[in-house]
Amino acid sequence: MTCDRLVCANCAGPVSEGRCSVCRAHRERLHRENGPFSLGSLSPTALAALLLTLIAVALLARQAAV
C-alpha cells in the first residue's frame, strides 16, 4: 500500500504531503512496513515470476547433479 491516495483524518490533507504529525507518523509506518524487500510490496505477477524462476533453477541444478 502506498500513501499517495490516503487522506489524513486529522488535517484532511494527503498523507503523502505530511502536513501534520499524524500524517508524518503514518507515512513513516507505511514506508517501514513496505520496505524494498517486503513480499507484500510485490505484485502477484512478480511473485509468480519469482516462483517460476526458483523452480527453473532447481530443475537445472538437479540436471547438473546427475
| Model confidence pLDDT, tens digit, residues 22-36 | 988 888 888 776 655
Query: What pLDDT is attached to residue 53?
Result: 97
Q: Is the pLDDT of residue 61 over 80?
A: yes
Q: Which of 1, 65, 9, 13 is nearest to 38 (CA)?
A: 1
Q: How far apart are CA 66 and CA 63, in angstroms?
A: 5
Q: How far apart are CA 52 and CA 29, in angstroms?
A: 32
Ranges of each domain in the chain: 1-33, 41-65
36 vs 66, more confident: 66
**Cβ-based neighbours of 27, under 8 Å, separated by 6 or more:** 3, 15, 16, 18
Query: What pLDDT is attached to residue 41?
Result: 63
Q: What is the mean pLDDT of residues 10-21?
A: 89
Query: What pLDDT is attached to residue 63?
Result: 93
